[in-house]
Structure 1
Amino acid sequence: LDDPAAVARGLSLLRLKGNDVIVFHILDAAELEFPFEGLARMEDVETDRNVTVECEVVKSPYLGLLQEFLDGTRERCRSQGIDYVLLSTAEPLDRGMVRFLAWRAKAK
C-alpha cells in the first residue's frame, strides 16, 4: 500500500490535464478476507521483517484498518471525479471490468 496522499496528488494531476481517470484497485482475495488461522509468519512491509502473528487476534483489527483505507481511497477518488473500482483476484478480471463498464454506460 502506497502513501494515499501521494497517490491522490498524482491522480489529481491526471484529472487536471483533462484525462478521464479510473482506478482499478485489485487485491488478492486473502487480503480482503484474511482467511488465515493459527500462527502465521507475515512480512511487515514497512520494516521488511518477518513477524509471527496469532491470526484470530489480528484478523478483526486488520480488516477494520483495511476497510478504513479502502473507504478513504474510494472517497478521495470520488471527490476528484475519479471512478474507483475494487476488484478481487477471486473473480476473473474481465467480469469485474465488464460489470463496471455496464454500470458506467448506464450512469452516463
Structure 2
Amino acid sequence: MTTYYYVAASQKFLLEEEPLEEVLKERTRHYGEQQKEIDFWLVKQPAFLEAPELVAANAQCPKPAVAIVSTNKQFITWLKLRLEFVLTGEFEAPSAAIPDPLASLVTA
C-alpha cells in the first residue's frame, strides 16, 4: 500500500479563488528541471473522501470538492501553509475502501 497525503477544499475556492494553476505549473516545471517524476495529482470530486475512515473529513469539506493528492508529505504541508483554508489528511491505498484514489484524476 501507498500513503497518500491530500489537501481538499471546495472547487470554487481552489480552482477559482486561488492561483492554484500557477502553483501546480511551477511545481511541474521544477520537477522537470530536477528530472523528478510527478508525485501529485488534482482530483475533482475525490471518491476517497467517501471511505469510512474519512467520514469526518468528508463532512468538513465543502462540496463540490477538489483535492490535490500526493505521495510527498512535505509538498502537501507546503500547500496547506500556502493556501491556508484547506482540509489536510492522509490515507493508505489501495484498500477495500479506497481501491483507486486517483479515480477522478484531472489530466491536462
Q: TM-score, normalised by structure 1?
A: 0.31
Higher relative contact order (CA 8 A, sep 6+): 2
Higher Rg: 1
More helix by share: 1
Q: TM-score, normalised by structure 2?
A: 0.31
